[in-house]
């Protein structure tokens, strides 16, 4: 099984770690505050989990998830991630991250920023448009009629295959949106952000509903650039 490294172990990172352990993967968790602050989470996850520094988690992972606030993306270690597939879960929140000119003018996207920071890694955007509660509860076995899709985007086809295989192992199908430049279609404030897993009238995050490929395609097609609004 895969060893999953996690740089950032908050709501999404911690949930991905739980799903990975349940699927039989080993996980190496990290955050900005130090391995000792992850003792409770490691204890909950059991013997397949351990805590480390971000550089150690990056080095240990066959596949690595970066789930840090956008404002901290330049702190992601570069050299230990050389040649590796990296899943980026991030979104841009100016009120949290400060304004980033190239995101404000939409000349690039969040995951393309991380890819530029990690030029020798293969970045795939995933997990950014689903709440941690929905991510935890909507897992289904392969072939289940109500299995949900998760959107992915990336420039490397092999990397997307690796991520698709990991998603399959934790209970999801992958919906390939295209290259990283298309990741804006399921960023914050688009129809594909959260909405595929919510039905009209639900409280958010609510219980969560399966998202079919057809529904995801509909929501992605409805995306509009801010500059075009």
Residues 37-59 have a mean pLDDT of: 98
Is pLDDT above 90 for 202? no
- Return the C-alpha torsion angle 119, 87, 90, 27, nearest 10: -120
Residues 59-66 have a mean pLDDT of: 98
The CATH number given to whatever domain includes residue 80 is: 3.40.50.720
Q: What is the pLDDT of residues 162-179, one digit of tens each?
A: 999 999 999 999 999 999
Q: What is the pLDDT of residues 137-161, one digit of tens each?
A: 999 999 999 999 999 999 999 999 9
201 or 92: which leads in pLDDT: 92
- Return the C-alpha torsion angle 103, 106, 108, 109, nearest 10: 70
Interstrand relation of 49-51 and 3-7 (parallel, antiparallel or unpaired): unpaired
Q: What is the pLDDT of residues 175-195, one digit of tens each?
A: 999 999 999 999 999 999 999
Rounded to whole angstroms, the Cα distance separating 42 from 151 reads 28
- Please tell me the predicted confidence (pLDDT) of residue 131: 96
Q: What is the pLDDT of residues 106-118, one digit of tens each?
A: 999 999 999 999 9
177: containing domain: 3-228
Both tokens of 128, joined, read: 């950014």
- Please tell me the predicted confidence (pLDDT) of residue 227: 63
Total domain count, the chain = 1
27 pairs with which residues across the strands?
A: 4, 49
């Amino acid at each position: 099984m895969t060893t999953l490294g996690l740089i950032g172990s908050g709501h999404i990172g911690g949930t991905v770690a739980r799903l990975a352990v349940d699927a039989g993967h080993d996980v190496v968790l990290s955050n900005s505050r130090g391995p000792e602050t992850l003792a409770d989470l490691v204890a909950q996850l059991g013997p397949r989990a351990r805590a480390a520094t971000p550089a150690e988690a990056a080095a240990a992972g066959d596949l690595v998830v970066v789930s840090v606030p956008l404002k901290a993306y330049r702190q992601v270690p570069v050299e230990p991630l050389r040649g590796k597939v990296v899943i980026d879960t991030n979104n841009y929140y100016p009120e949290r991250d400060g304004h980033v000119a190239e995101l404000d003018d939409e000349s690039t996207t969040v995951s393309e920023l991380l890819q530029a920071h990690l030029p020798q890694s293969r970045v795939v955007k995933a997990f950014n448009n689903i709440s941690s509660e929905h991510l935890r509860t909507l897992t289904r076995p392969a072939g289940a009629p109500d299995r949900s899709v998760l959107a992915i985007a990336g420039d490397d086809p092999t990397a997307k295959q690796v991520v698709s295989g990991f998603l399959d192992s934790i209970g999801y199908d992958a919906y390939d949106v295209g290259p990283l430049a298309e990741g804006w279609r399921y960023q914050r404030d688009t129809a594909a952000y959260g909405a595929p897993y919510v039905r009209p009238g639900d409280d958010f995050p609510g219980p969560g509903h399966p998202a079919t490929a057809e529904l995801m395609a509909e929501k992605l097609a409805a995306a509009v650039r801010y500059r075009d609004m």
